Amino acid sequence: MTNIFKLLTWIIGSVFSAELLGYGLHRLLHSGIIPALSQNHMKHHLVLYGPLQEQRSATYHDATEGESIALGNIGVEWLGPAALLIVVAIAIFWLFHVRWFYQLIYFATTLGWSFLMFSWLHDVMHVEGFWLERNAISKRWFNSARRRHDIHHYVLNNEGLMDKNFGIGLFLFDRLFGTLAAVEGPFNQQAYETARTRFRITELVRKEVERKR
């Protein structure tokens, strides 16, 4: 019984860790602190699914298409920081002599949950007519989460940053850190222009047009 409880604790803790790290990394990508990483992410937000564009398409528009460094549809802006966090986690486990079995549980759960929420679930939120929006069990949660994700794509502060709803399926840390928004509010056109300048969107659009030729 003790071993089962310990295993469940590690799994739940790993899910909690994945949500926290995903929230933190997503917030970092919107902060502009590391310009190159933020610009990569803003291709998704201001070129493919911008606040003045439709948020749903027949198939997902992949921002990593044509990029040399990507894992499926996960771009370098996610892979680089994630790799660093993995190294840090390994160092911490080594320092505290954590058994290999629990390290395996942690990494399998954290990486699996991160992919499920911040890659797969995120992408299908932009797919029109996806089955989760119609299923009797999932539709209430999915449609609510997707509305909050739409707000994430729409709301801009005066610095041209999208600073609300960094969670995907769960918004625990948005609640804890004050970044949760339930309504859109009026569109900030000036902030939109600021964002386009800040993240050199004209250059990204040009590259996207050239890629499609």
Query: In this structure, what token pair is assigned to residue 53?
Result: 């564009």
Model confidence band, residue 134 (pLDDT cutoffs 50, 70, 90): very high
Q: What are phi and psi for residue 58, nearest 5 degrees?
A: -60, -40
Could you give the CA distance from residue 184 to residue 163 in angstroms, rounded to a whole number? 12
Predicted local distance difference test score (pLDDT) of residue 82: 94
Q: Residue 71's beta-bridge partner residues?
A: 74
Predicted local distance difference test score (pLDDT) of residue 72: 78
Residue range of the domain that includes 55? 2-212
Task: Answer whether residue 210 shows pLDDT above 70.
Answer: no
Q: Residue 127's beta-bridge partner residues?
A: 57
Residue range 25-49: mean pLDDT, rounded: 93
Strand 74-75 and strand 70-71: the pairing is antiparallel
Predicted local distance difference test score (pLDDT) of residue 209: 52
Residue range 10-23: mean pLDDT, rounded: 96
**Cα of 159 vs its chain's centroid, Å:** 20
Residue range 56-72: mean pLDDT, rounded: 84
Predicted local distance difference test score (pLDDT) of residue 202: 75
Could you give the CA distance from residue 184 to residue 103 in angstroms, rounded to a whole number? 41
Give Cα separations from 111 to 18, 81, 148, 209 (angstroms). Answer: 7, 13, 23, 33
Could you give the CA distance from residue 49 to residue 155 in angstroms, rounded to a whole number? 13
* 64 touches 74 (CB < 8 A): yes
Could you give the CA distance from residue 55 to residue 113 in angstroms, rounded to a whole number? 24
The residue assigned the tokens 């600073």 is 163
Q: What's the domain count of the chain? A: 1
Task: Answer whether residue 5 shows pLDDT above 60.
Answer: yes
List, for residues 139-198, the tens digit of each pLDDT value.
Answer: 999 999 999 999 999 999 999 999 999 999 999 999 999 999 999 889 999 999 999 999
Could you give the CA distance from residue 28 to residue 147 in angstroms, rounded to a whole number? 22
Model confidence band, residue 212 (pLDDT cutoffs 50, 70, 90): low
Could you give the CA distance from residue 120 to residue 73 in angstroms, rounded to a whole number? 9
Beta strands in the chain (DSSP E): 70-71, 74-75
Confidence (pTM): 0.91
